[in-house]
Amino acid sequence: MAGRLEVITGCMFSGKTEELIRRLERVRIAHGNILLFKPTIDDRYGTDAVVTHYGRRFDAHLLPPGEESRAKLIDIVGRNALNDSTVVAFDEGNFFSDKLPPLCETLVNMGKRVIVAGLDLTFAGKPFGPMPTLMALADTVDKLHAVCVKCGQPATRSQRLIDGKPAPADDVVIKIGGSEVYEARCRDCYEPG
């Protein structure tokens, strides 16, 4: 089987992890071997699974950002598990380093179906981490939309709030959080900090 790279992207609350889990469940039904990795910094709902904002879970392995390599995956899951996998997936791809795209290419060249889900833009509206490169390399890209909390139109931006006000654009890029920190907004309702 030829390998391929699929990217699922969009703003916060657009259903990226839901879509990732949906695809992985279909592989599980077909008796495929799945490896799912998440960055060590994403501990919102635990460390042994990827969990959606609505509580849906899928078992996952932790992978430290900056250590994305075939050798590290073998360290984590073992050579046989990696070789036997049909799908290798990464959630929160935006939190990984620029080493993720070459790793994905290596896995694709090994014949793996690789799926990466992650934010395309930071809260400040800038391309996020390795996601632009992954989207350029991908065989397919699905950009999902949330619902704007202000007007109800399709949302493409993640608005970070501090005490109810837009976070300044020079705030730290990575701040783990959910609806207590972020809102989905359309381009018109998004407020630059």
Give per-residue pLDDT as tens, 159-176.
999 998 999 999 988 887
Model confidence at 1, pLDDT cuts 50, 70, 90, reads low
Domain count, the chain: 1
Query: Which H helix or E strand runs over 10?
Result: strand 4-10
Model confidence at 64: pLDDT above 70: yes
Among 14, 53, 20, smallest CA distance to 144 is for 14
Evaluate whether residue 104 is within a structural domain. Answer: yes
176/12 Cα distance (integer angstroms):
11
Give per-residue pLDDT as tens, 118-148.
999 999 999 999 999 999 999 999 999 999 9
Least confident of 92-96, 140-144, 176-180: 176-180
Evaluate whether residue 69 is within a structural domain. Answer: yes
Which sequence positions are flagged as catalytic? 92
Q: Please state the rounded mean pLDDT for residues 61-76.
A: 98
Evaluate whether residue 171 is within a structural domain. Answer: no
Q: Is 105 helix (H, G, I), strand (E, B) or coil?
A: helix
Among 90, 129, 137, smallest CA distance to 109 is for 137
Please, is 10 exposed, middle or buried when counting C-beta atoms within 10 Å of its C-beta (0-12, 13-18, 19+)? Answer: buried
Rg (CA), the chain: 16
Evaluate whether residue 79 is within a structural domain. Answer: yes
Q: Please state the rounded mean pLDDT for residues 7-29.
A: 97
Q: What is the pLDDT of residue 165?
A: 92
| CATH classification of the domain holding 84 | 3.40.50.300
17/8 Cα distance (integer angstroms):
8
Give the residue numbers spanning the domain of 15.
Answer: 4-144
Evaluate whether residue 53 is within a structural domain. Answer: yes
